[in-house]
Chains A and B, each alone.
Chain A
Amino acid sequence: MDAEPLTQLDPSYTTVMRIEGLLVTLPFVIGAGVLSFAEIVPAWAPGIPVLILVILLIIVLPMKRYRSRGYHMAADRLRVVKGVLFHADTVVPFSRVQHLDVEQGPLERAFGIARLILHTAGTHNASVTLPGLAFDNAKVMREEIRQHVKRESL
């Protein structure tokens, strides 16, 4: 059952992660700028850690994250795979889904992607999040899972 190919996420998810990385690094860039102008340390010194941070958070990590994530929707279950260093491979049968959410932050809305969240009654993995889906796709998936939940509960 693990042989099935994983579906890739929407490519704009990488862009969203890059912008998020940019927002995280921005304070550091400003701090480094202040440090160079204040001439407490040599002007080039603060640039090095910031450059490493920029390369990591804006260029490398979003790419790696995007590549490591994926999902597979079977007839009765959803498999969510994620993790660059720490892998997690979670399967939730639709029959155990309590309720469903489709969420969008402002950035995600700008790029037309969304997160699909599956809630279960288990203590571990009480909610499984699948980010980076095209918004329409997320809605379709939600409807499909909901149909499934409804049909079996009636």
Chain B
Amino acid sequence: MGETSDIVQVTDDDAIEIGEWRRVSKLTIAAQTLRTMVQGVIPAIIILYSAARDENTSEVFGYAALFAIPVLLLILSVTVLPAWLQWYRLRYRVGSSDVRLEQGIISRSARSVPYDRIQDVSLEQKLIPRLLGLVEVKFETGAAGKDELKLALVTEEEGERLRETVRELVEGSEDQALAALPATGAEDAPQPAVQPEGRVLFAMDQRRLMIFGLFSFSLVIFAVILGAAQQLEFLLPFDVWDYAEQYIRDEGYFEAGKYVDGMDTAARILGIVYLLLTVVVVGMVSGIAKTFVRDWGFKLERTAKGFRRRRGLLTKTDVVMPVHRVQALVLSTGFIRRRFGWHGLSFISLAQDSGKANHDVAPFAKMDEIEPIVREAGFTLPDGAEEWRRPSPNYYFDRAVITALVISMVGIFAFTAAIASAGQLEPGMTVIAIAVLAVITLIVAREFYLWRYDRHALDPAQVLSRRGWLGPRTQIANRIKLHSVEIAQGPLARWRGYCNLKFGMAGGNFAFNGLNLDDARKLRGAVLDSIASVDFANLPR
């Protein structure tokens, strides 16, 4: 296994030969080193710096600064050496039936992934590799993300070439498998007609990104700032906790209260409005920033082999999803964006999309933009002809009762605790009772509307489900691409005559909760009949 002398050292414009051992780009060493430096050295400098500012130790660190440069050089060499060894001991081969990867400095691992197991080849570019013109190539096998074959890092051209070569070989192995079958008559196999290369199905320009960002209001930034303040507080010129302590000791809040007291009503209202506006503006700005970073240059194309999606400002990703691997569609929307006609479409497929099971294909689009993508994927949107059915009302009733009970218990507990601590009934305690009532009313209203809005349907080729009240989510699954059907019931469900219907779907979850038992049985029967009629091996893969 240690035989590395037969590696053909390639120059970058070499075509990939089948069965030849290759190494990744030498620049990987630089990228690896840079990354370690950023992760390890910069915090070290910050610590040194802040320690040097501390008066007692500043003299010691004054000397230490003298050694800083040799120390840094030492760190550099310590990071470069393993990076070089890793590069030297890693080799890959694009063979006639599989992709092989051998790596490891002392303990070697050799992996082989046969072509007919490769779902997809995707490219990912993080910031540092991007500056160096490198990409990471991932061979996705549907192994839930953890055991995927990753090749870090190769030059951009090499990545593109690898993808093309492997994809062709994958197609070849599929054609062989298909040719071995006498009956390839899966009735609604989407026949990938020869399309002109790279027809753009959906793209988002800056204006669209801006609108999307405005709707992606997020207050995560406050949590991030708080977290950062906690992590990096030693860098601040004053101690936050000391300050807070002092504030309370000196009755600073009293001063502040007096200050507010001194203002007239208009000024108070203005103050509150100002505070709210700040929160809203910060939320919107962070939403916009997040959207721009993630979805910059979003482009979905229909190529001969499937859907190709490119996006990202700092981390660029380039993912290809073969059409026949799309298991189901998810059509989602939000509470406000829905009023303006904006929806998001994602695919559930075997491969993963940066840790998420769903692939965003049109995160923010109008229905008339989504419709052609859906058609291209071999699905149809609900057109009103299907018979929508509602889940059992008992399910929602029971859920409302259970949550209301839990909240009442919490309320009663809080109430008793308040009385116990105060020793008598005080008017302020009615607030608790009012809050409990308000929450319960809200929950009951929500369950009622959920019952009104949740629905499911069965059309000749698909199972459809719509869940949610204000921001409904529609899932559309292909009937023949399901693998098993289960009816599950807890004790309460059995008593009240409803059940959960769960479908086994590759790469995702598909379940209808709270169905009438008879309805669930009917659905199951119908779906099973269409599953059983098409063999797994004949499924459009």
Question: A123-B507, A123-B509 given as contacts; is B484 within 8 A of A95 (CB)?
Answer: no
* Chain A residue at smallest Cβ distance from B494: A87
Q: Label chain A's interface by main secondary structure.
A: mixed
A122 to B509, CA, bound (A): 9
CB pair B484–A120 under 8 Å, yes or no, is yes
Question: A124-B511, A125-B504, A152-B535 given as contacts; is B528 within 8 A of A86 (CB)?
Answer: no
CB pair B531–A122 under 8 Å, yes or no, is no
CB pair B502–A124 under 8 Å, yes or no, is yes
Instruction: Find chain B residues with CB under 8 A from A85 CB.
Output: 490-491
Instruction: Find chain B residues with CB under 8 A from A86 CB.
Output: 488-491
CB of B534 within 8 A of chain A?
yes
**B508–chain A nearest beta-carbon distance, Å:** 6
CB pair A91–B486 under 8 Å, yes or no, is yes
Instruction: Find chain A residues with CB under 8 A from B506 CB.
Output: 121-123
CB pair A125–B494 under 8 Å, yes or no, is no
Which of A2, A88, A96, A120 interacts with B521 by CB under 8 Å? A2
Task: Give the residue among B483, B531, B534, B536 with the most A Cβ atoms within 10 A.
Answer: B483
A95 to B535, CA, bound (A): 5
Chain A residues 73 to 102 lying within 8 A of chain B, measured CB to CB, are 76-77, 83, 85-98
CB of B149 within 8 A of chain A?
no
* Chain B residue at smallest Cβ distance from A76: B532
Which of B482, B509, B532, B537 interacts with A153 by CB under 8 Å? B537
Instruction: Find chain B residues with CB under 8 A from A58 CB.
Output: none
* Chain B residue at smallest Cβ distance from A152: B535
Q: Hey, what's the 0/1 contact readout for B499-541 against A, CB within 8 Å counting as 1?
A: 1001111111111000000000100110010011011111000
A87 to B503, CA, bound (A): 16
CB of B169 within 8 A of chain A?
no
**B104–chain A nearest beta-carbon distance, Å:** 30
Task: Give the residue among A85, A94, A96, A154 with the most B Cβ atoms within 10 A.
Answer: A96
CB pair B537–A125 under 8 Å, yes or no, is no
Chain A residues 117 to 136 lying within 8 A of chain B, measured CB to CB, are 120-126, 128
CB of B313 within 8 A of chain A?
no
CB pair A90–B485 under 8 Å, yes or no, is yes
Which of B499, B521, B534 interacts with A95 by CB under 8 Å? B534
CB pair B483–A121 under 8 Å, yes or no, is yes
CB of A1 within 8 A of chain B?
yes
CB of B487 within 8 A of chain A?
yes
* Chain B residue at smallest Cβ distance from A92: B484
Instruction: Find chain A residues with CB under 8 A from B488 CB.
Output: 86-89
Number of A-B residue pairs having CB atoms within 8 Å of each other in the complex: 105
CB pair B504–A98 under 8 Å, yes or no, is no
CB pair B531–A93 under 8 Å, yes or no, is yes
Name the interface size band of chain B.
35 or more
Instruction: Find chain B residues with CB under 8 A from A97 CB.
Output: 536
Instruction: Find chain B residues with CB under 8 A from A98 CB.
Output: 536
CB pair A90–B536 under 8 Å, yes or no, is no
A97 to B484, CA, bound (A): 9
A9 to B295, CA, bound (A): 56
CB pair A95–B531 under 8 Å, yes or no, is yes
**B214–chain A nearest beta-carbon distance, Å:** 35
Which of A83, A89, A96, A154 interacts with B483 by CB under 8 Å? A96
A132 to B536, CA, bound (A): 28
CB pair A91–B484 under 8 Å, yes or no, is yes
A125 to B506, CA, bound (A): 10
CB pair A123–B508 under 8 Å, yes or no, is yes
A123 to B538, CA, bound (A): 20
A98 to B528, CA, bound (A): 17
A94 to B484, CA, bound (A): 10
A125 to B532, CA, bound (A): 17
A122 to B507, CA, bound (A): 7
A66 to B253, CA, bound (A): 68
**A13–chain B nearest beta-carbon distance, Å:** 22
Which of B486, B489, B524, B528 interacts with A125 by CB under 8 Å? B486
CB pair A122–B503 under 8 Å, yes or no, is yes
* Chain A residue at smallest Cβ distance from B510: A124
Question: A1-B521, A89-B487 given as contacts; is B528 within 8 A of A124 (CB)?
Answer: no
Chain B residues 323 to 351 lying within 8 A of chain A, measured CB to CB, are none
**B181–chain A nearest beta-carbon distance, Å:** 8
Question: A85-B491, A91-B484, A128-B484 given as contacts; is B502 within 8 A of A96 (CB)?
Answer: no
Instruction: Find chain A residues with CB under 8 A from B502 CB.
Output: 124-125
Question: A121-B506, A123-B506, A124-B504 given as contacts; is B536 within 8 A of A95 (CB)?
Answer: yes
Question: A96-B484, A122-B482 given as contacts; is B505 within 8 A of A153 (CB)?
Answer: no
CB pair B532–A126 under 8 Å, yes or no, is no
**A19–chain B nearest beta-carbon distance, Å:** 27
A39 to B539, CA, bound (A): 69
A122 to B286, CA, bound (A): 38
Which of A96, A123, A152 interacts with B531 by CB under 8 Å? A96
A94 to B510, CA, bound (A): 20
Q: Hey, what's the 0/1 contact readout for A1-33 against B, CB within 8 Å counting as 1?
A: 110000000000000000000000000000000
Instruction: Find chain A residues with CB under 8 A from B508 CB.
Output: 123
Question: A122-B506, A123-B504 given as contacts; is B535 within 8 A of A91 (CB)?
Answer: no
CB pair A87–B489 under 8 Å, yes or no, is yes
**A82–chain B nearest beta-carbon distance, Å:** 10
A76 to B487, CA, bound (A): 19
Instruction: Find chain A residues with CB under 8 A from B510 CB.
Output: 124
A68 to B144, CA, bound (A): 34
Task: Give the residue among B503, B528, B538 with the most A Cβ atoms within 10 A.
Answer: B528
Task: Give the residue among A2, A85, A88, A93 with the most B Cβ atoms within 10 A.
Answer: A93
**B524–chain A nearest beta-carbon distance, Å:** 7
Which of B487, B504, B511 interacts with A120 by CB under 8 Å? B504
A36 to B311, CA, bound (A): 70
8 contacts between A and B (CB under 8 A): A91-B524, A93-B531, A95-B534, A96-B482, A122-B484, A123-B507, A124-B505, A154-B182
Residues of B within 8 A of A (CB): 181-182, 482-491, 494, 499, 502-511, 521, 524-525, 528, 531-532, 534-538
A-B CB proximity, top 9 nearest: A122-B504, A122-B483, A152-B535, A153-B537, A93-B532, A90-B486, A87-B489, A120-B483, A125-B504
13 new A-B contacts, CB < 8 A, other than A95-B536, A96-B483, are: A87-B487, A91-B528, A93-B531, A96-B484, A96-B531, A121-B504, A122-B483, A122-B484, A123-B509, A124-B486, A124-B510, A124-B511, A125-B484
